[in-house]
Amino acid sequence: MCGVAGCVALQPALAAPSLDGVRAMVGALRHRGPDEFGLYRDARAALGHARLSIIDLATGQQPLCNEDGSLWIVFNGEIFNYLELREELLALGHRFRTRSDTEVIVHAWEAWGERALGRFNGQFALALWDAPRQTLVLARDRLGVRPLYLAEQDGRLWFASEVKALFAGAPALARELDPAGLAETFTFWTPVAPQTVFRGIRELEPGHVRVVSPLGVTDRPFWTPSYPERREEVRPGTLDELAGQVRAALERAVRLRMLRADVPVGCYLSGGLDSSLVAALGRQVQGGRFCTFSVRFESAELDETPYQRELVARIGSDHRELVVARRDVAEAFPAVVAHAERPLLRTGPAPLFLLSGLVRQAGVKVVLTGEGADELFGGYDLFREGKVRRFWGRQPASTCRPRLLERLYPYLARSPVAQRAMAQEFFGRGRERWDEPGFAHQPRWRAAAALQRLFDPGFREEAQRLDVVARLLGSLPGPFRRWSPLAQDQYLEVRTLLSGYLLASQGDRMLMGHSVEGRFPFLDTEVMDLACALPDAAKLRGLDEKHVLKRAGLGLVPDRILARTKQPYRAPDAVSFTGPDAPPWVGDVLSGEAVGRAGVFQPRAVERLYRKCLDGEGRGPLSNADNMALVGVLSTGLLHEALLRRPPQAGAPLEFRTVVDRLAAPAGAGARGDACRSRSG
């Protein structure tokens, strides 16, 4: 895993990009790739790279080029099927100097152009510079596992793996929060690409390629999710046959991610079905030492230790545990927000940030996780809730149908279905519109959007000028209404929460905060395509979530884990910041002066919220709304202080192993290919 950065002049008359600016960008990404650093520059473009060595440790440094030095790349991620693609390219006459997947991308682009992107089974963000054609290509994997941000300033396009790198390389960029991005965050829990929370900065959408050439700029998808539109498109087979296909595909995905690495690969273990399946399959692949890592919580409501230890006993892994108290969450939170680069409504990323530190201390650079299984196989209560509410909506006067709501959220101390009348009022709103897009998500979106009442009036007016829900629903793909209701719900969950929050705030950013690469077998192209094609009843059988996945785990995962009710990963939220051991920074960020300086929230409203949370300490769990509100206000304030108010910190100077500066090279060097041979910087 790595960090990429760069700049391209949009007009030929502009002066060459500054190497110092790109050096600063790479410096801001050193946590993503602490092993090697490299630069490339010519009259129009500059590329930078920070490398975490995983594959081809000796010769895989970047920027990397083709044989004649005409095509250059910086790349963040892994292409897991690169060896198979390499054999195809060798048969076509391509010649390789390294064993890296990065070089395979270069030759694949030469051979197949944009079609190559659809053939990659991997997780990536990349920038290709075609010097003779003066063309920049930016691309991002199917679901946006790896980030890529863009900004235009003074006739130049800047791009980087993280926003802090854009600020470091282009200090004249506006440092302001975008009300539309905050409105999306306080609705969907995340901005939805291309929207970000920073004014003037965009995020390349997952599954998209942007081409910047003398002919202009194009931005289009190379992949979009697809679900069955007709009965004959659904994957045929009995439940047992389908479970066998799922298990076989997942076995191949785990094996591919275990073996395509030159360093040891470990696994996260939550104690739930998804990570247990991945860990058990990983153990089969790796016969020697196999490390697993778990978070434990002091709170019994959140802790899953018994299930974690049962799986460890079954597979015999070298297991490491991290016990997280609420004080730990509070102390880590400023660093968590600085890495996430967006406001958070939950503290879930904090324990995962601490866990990646434990992984790195154990000498492990790569971990597998179970991310994506819930979205692809129907694991969330939201999917069950949507099914019940639609069932109710078809007979809105029924008194029996809404009783099914009581089977949801059994793991919550303050379950939203605990009080029948309140639950039916909350979940019954709008039930007559059960066949409209976004129906299943509306309760969650409404609950989060209600927090915007804390916004400063002027900020709220600008934030609500755009109806973010209408914008999202207006961008749905053409076939959306021809998909089943479950497929529609899955698509929206992937588009919003998975890509923008789980793979970003809880995934890539928390892992890379300690220079650890995450790999996600459930997001393998074969597994994803199979999951999307399954009949709904295989995923959500009645109200039994992930039914086919449970069948796939028979004999592999302990029965107690297969039978347990889905318990989403959660961490201590507002209570982390309200106890007697809360760190001093909490009061500083919530002070009227700091809140007013950020300009997002009303200082008095924040003061009332904080007092309510302090007064509620020891009286039982806070409401879901108060939890999200306090975490959201704190994280927004921390973000403003860390990325917008303070200038970027330069850090210690980097030693660049690879520097190719065509403006300083002898005339004709590029034509002879000399520019491909790096020199120490």
Out of 2, 65, 532, 613, the active site residue is: 2
Q: By CB neighbour count within 10 A (0-12 exposed, 13-18 middle, 19+ buried), where does 170 fall?
A: buried
Peptide bond into 580 cis (omega under 30): no
Q: By CB neighbour count within 10 A (0-12 exposed, 13-18 middle, 19+ buried), where does 288 fall?
A: exposed
Distance CA 127, CA 38 (A): 14
Tokens of 596: 């007013």
Residues 6+ apart with CB under 8 A from 642: 334, 337, 338
Tally of CA atoms within 13 A in the half-sphere of 557 that contains its CB: 26
Q: Which amino acid is at 49?
A: H
Decide: 220 and 165 in contact? Cβ < 8 Å. no
Distance CA 239, CA 411 (A): 28
What are the φ and ψ backbone dihedral angles of 74, each rounded to 5 degrees?
-125, 140
DSSP bridge partners of 150: 159, 202
Distance CA 513, CA 531 (A): 31
Decide: 58 and 40 in contact? Cβ < 8 Å. no
Distance CA 175, CA 186 (A): 20
Using alpha carbons only, what angle is made at residue 107 by residues 104 and 108, rounded to the nearest 5 degrees? Answer: 80
Q: Can 532 be counted among the known catalytic residues? A: no
524: alpha, beta or left, given left = phi > 0 and alpha = psi -120 to 50? beta
The residues carrying an active-site annotation are: 2
